[in-house]
Structure 1
Amino acid sequence: MGWFEHNKPLMVMLVLQFTYGAVSISTRASLLEGMNPRVFVVYRQAIATLAIAPISYFSRRKTTKCCIGWKSFSLIFIAALIGITSSQMLFLEGLYLASASAGSSMFNLVPAITFFVASIVGYEPVNIRSLRTIAKILGTVLCVTSAAAMALIKGPKLLNSQLPLSNSLLLNSSSGSDNLWLLGCLCLFGSSCCWSFYLIIQVPVNKNHPDHLSLSAWMCFTATVQSATVTWFTDPNLEVWKINSYLQLGSCLFAGIVGSGISLFVQSWVIERRGPVFSAMFNPLNTVIVTIMACIFLQERIYLGSVIGAVGIVIGLYVVLWGKAKDLEEQQKKMMISETDEIKIKIKTVGVLVDESKPLLHP
């Protein structure tokens, strides 16, 4: 039982990565079948809202209520617009134009981009003389360079079948197929940047609305309204809202309930027990899983440029995570030292002097 409890977060993260891989594959299969990417975002967030909102409501009845004000709502609106609506729409557009493996590889840029943005706004300490900071900077440069190599190195046609380009906002039927890969990678890179900005915005959002479950419900609801509004203006035809197959329906339900609902609780559970670095270390595994599953189920081809770019992104990611892990170790040491100093000060203040040469209990 002790071994199982100790390795439970490891097993949970492995299952979670396979779940993320299944979400990516099923989503891309639905898009290739003709489902509109922006409509998919609306359905996914609506289903996630229906899954999270009842749990949030009944859980808050047993705890202290956390009211939402105009400031909190404004921050939630901005965070949902950047981190969910924009990020997911760009991601699905890139997933639609490039490939599932490219989407998974590009998402590994998030830790590096987050470090770069956090260092600019002052959330991340930067000491150019520190080996940890140098490692994070070099890892960020390697990640971005590898992503650029993945996008710019050309190769033969990626898919065995033609994409239904009418569903894309970026290309029309007369666009050349050589632009698909580059535009798709640019969309995936933009999605990673949006998600990194979202992580930065979470700092003020959590301060103003500390109820995480209620916050998730509000995020999903706000993103549903935002994505529905964008879809209404970009695709006014009501035909795009139709779900034409069980595959599309199952993909929406699976992505909404499992990909956005259950995974939220599982991810929070793992971070609470092992920390965010432990959770982030499993991201490259998702790249391998998605690449293998895409080759088997979607007949996607693997090219040299993609392999080199993905390997470089993974190496850069682990370099950044190593630097971040060292930062956490340094912070823990400082906290232990400060707590020890506080205990010593309290003992001196009370006037209790302990002599270890004498017993505490006298006969």
Structure 2
Amino acid sequence: MFMGLIRQTKLVLAVILVQLGYAGLSIISVFALKKGMSPYTFIVYRMAIATIVLAPFAFILERNSRPPMTWSITGKIMLLSLFDPVLDQNLYYMGMKNSSATFTSAMCNMLPAFAFCLAWIFRFEKVSLKKLHSIAKVMGTIITVGGAIVLTLVRGPSLCLPWAIEEQIDPHQSAQCYSGQADLVKGALFITGACFCWSWFVILQAITLRSYPCQLSLTAMICFWGMVEGAILAFVVERGHSGVWSIQFNIKLVAAFYGAMQSGVAYYVMGMVVKEKGPVFYSAFNPLATVMVAILGSFVLAEQLYLGSVIGAAVIIIGLYLVLWGKAKDQSPPSQSCMIDEVAPLTQRLIDDQQC
């Protein structure tokens, strides 16, 4: 009992540290993107560095426990790396370029709602509108999407934080407001696509870990294939712009190394937590990154907060925890023929039910 409590505490602390790392990465990424770094090459460098660092540890530490590699497992890993980092992170940074770090982080709280919708569509999730917890999951999903709409379209008055002095807009710049609003909507669409890809990644990772349970080796291979697939995409998109591949000892290099370390740690911790607690447990900590980014963004980037953004973020968090409450109540009862852990991922529970 005591050892189990210590184990759970370690998992919670690990996820909190990952969210703190993501908050810092968001701030550093904004600086690098403003300095002209291409998000496509940024991701390639991140995955290359992460692969170089993680591969030797994975090879040595898991050399006796790795199951044989099959075409099926290889295909799953390549699909995982396509969802994240290639599609998810490129859409994420494109959304950030059209909005702000705080806005991007808040919009990413839609992830649990997207994961729930995908699980429902593909019958991984059972929903009965006669049960309160099922209604809570559906309503939480709707509220989360509504909060994202409020966050995108409603600005409201500035909170006038003393350390985030907003620059005054000259009269001749007023025509740019419409363009700024259009960029915000465009950014919201990019971030929504990123959340969709990330939710696919979380579900597919839970499935892959059943046939390939070595988290460190899986993390290294995701980073490797992410580098390969990301490089192909970067060469196609940035063809004729060879200068985007140049990197010097500046904020771009710092961002690449920081991002590489964050990706490696995050993939490993996510695999460990998803394997033991499920993807819903991991996603429950997403709002922490939003709060951290909002605080860091206002201090470091002088990003002013607006009432509409705060209300939208609060609505997203309320919807998120309605979904989580419904998930906590939606557990299959254990039996002698088929014991299902109370916090197992939805995808794993479905497979277990079919096997029993």
TM-score (norm 1): 0.80
The superposition leaves residues 274-329 of structure 1 with CA deviations (integer Å, 9 ceiling, x where unpaired) of: 665443332211111100100110111212221121111111111101111112xx
Partner of 2:352: none
Task: Report the Cα distance in structure 1 between the residues aligned to 2:22 and 2:179, rounded to whole angstroms.
Answer: 31
Residue among 218, 223, 228 paired with 2:231? 228
SS in 1 for 2:313: helix
Residue among 231, 238, 242 paired with 1:238? 242
Partner of 1:106: 107
Partner of 2:144: 143
SS in 2 for 1:335: coil
Matched, 1:249 2:253: yes
**Counterpart of 2:250 in structure 1: which amino acid?**
Y
CA deviation after TM superposition for structure 1 residue 37, in Å: 1.1
**Counterpart of 2:259 in structure 1: which amino acid?**
A
Task: Report the Cα distance in structure 2 between the residues aligned to 1:295 and 1:337, rounded to whole angstroms.
Answer: 54
Partner of 2:91: 90
Identity across the alignment (%): 34
CA deviation after TM superposition for structure 1 residue 128, in Å: 1.7
Asked if structure 2 preserves the Cα contact closer than 8 Å seen for 1:277 and 1:325, the reply is: no
Asked if structure 1 preserves the Cα contact closer than 8 Å seen for 2:155 and 2:306, the reply is: no
The superposition leaves residues 27-57 of structure 1 with CA deviations (integer Å, 9 ceiling, x where unpaired) of: 1111112211111111111112122211211
Structure 1 pair 276/76, CA: closer, same or farther in 2 (3 Å)?
closer
Matched, 1:214 2:217: yes
Partner of 2:154: 153
**Counterpart of 1:112 in structure 2: which amino acid?**
A
Structure 1 pair 75/159, CA: closer, same or farther in 2 (3 Å)?
farther
**Counterpart of 1:250 in structure 2: which amino acid?**
V
Partner of 2:48: 46
CA deviation after TM superposition for structure 1 residue 59, in Å: 2.1
* Structure 2 stretches lacking a partner, 5+ long: 159-163, 168-175, 340-356
Task: Report the Cα distance in structure 1 between the residues aligned to 2:255 and 2:312, rounded to whole angstroms.
Answer: 28
SS in 2 for 1:95: helix
Task: Report the Cα distance in structure 2 between the residues aligned to 1:198 and 1:282, rounded to whole angstroms.
Answer: 17
Matched, 1:294 2:293: no
Task: Report the Cα distance in structure 1 between the residues aligned to 2:124 and 2:87, rounded to whole angstroms.
Answer: 23
CA deviation after TM superposition for structure 1 residue 180, in Å: 1.6
Partner of 1:37: 39
Partner of 2:329: 326
Matched, 1:187 2:182: no
* Structure 1 stretches lacking a partner, 5+ long: 162-172, 341-363
Task: Report the Cα distance in structure 2 between the residues aligned to 1:179 and 1:338, rounded to whole angstroms.
Answer: 56
Asked if structure 1 preserves the Cα contact closer than 8 Å seen for 2:30 and 2:96, the reply is: yes
TM-score (norm 2): 0.81
Partner of 2:263: 260
Partner of 1:346: none
Partner of 1:344: none
The superposition leaves residues 9-29 of structure 1 with CA deviations (integer Å, 9 ceiling, x where unpaired) of: 444443332222111111111
Partner of 1:335: 334
Task: Report the Cα distance in structure 1 between the residues aligned to 2:81 and 2:267, rounded to whole angstroms.
Answer: 15
SS in 1 for 2:334: helix
Structure 1 pair 242/295, CA: closer, same or farther in 2 (3 Å)?
same
Partner of 2:121: 120
In the comparison of the two structures, how many residue pairs are matched? Answer: 321
Alignment RMSD: 2.8
CA deviation after TM superposition for structure 1 residue 212, in Å: 2.9
Structure 1 pair 90/160, CA: closer, same or farther in 2 (3 Å)?
farther
Asked if structure 1 preserves the Cα contact closer than 8 Å seen for 2:114 and 2:196, the reply is: yes
CA deviation after TM superposition for structure 1 residue 81, in Å: 1.3
Task: Report the Cα distance in structure 1 between the residues aligned to 2:247 and 2:116, rounded to whole angstroms.
Answer: 40
Task: Report the Cα distance in structure 2 between the residues aligned to 1:23 and 1:104, rounded to whole angstroms.
Answer: 11
Task: Report the Cα distance in structure 2 between the residues aligned to 1:43 and 1:155, rounded to whole angstroms.
Answer: 39
Show the 5 A alignment for 1:169-208: 176-208=179-211
Asked if structure 1 preserves the Cα contact closer than 8 Å seen for 2:48 and 2:224, the reply is: yes
Asked if structure 1 preserves the Cα contact closer than 8 Å seen for 2:40 and 2:90, the reply is: yes
Matched, 1:309 2:312: yes
Task: Report the Cα distance in structure 1 between the residues aligned to 2:166 and 2:93, rounded to whole angstroms.
Answer: 19
Task: Report the Cα distance in structure 2 between the residues aligned to 1:291 and 1:240, rounded to whole angstroms.
Answer: 29
**Counterpart of 1:315 in structure 2: which amino acid?**
I
Task: Report the Cα distance in structure 1 between the residues aligned to 2:148 and 2:110, rounded to whole angstroms.
Answer: 8
Larger radius of gyration: 1
Asked if structure 2 preserves the Cα contact closer than 8 Å seen for 1:21 and 1:286, the reply is: yes
Asked if structure 2 preserves the Cα contact closer than 8 Å seen for 1:9 and 1:274, the reply is: no
Asked if structure 1 preserves the Cα contact closer than 8 Å seen for 2:115 and 2:199, the reply is: yes
Partner of 1:358: none
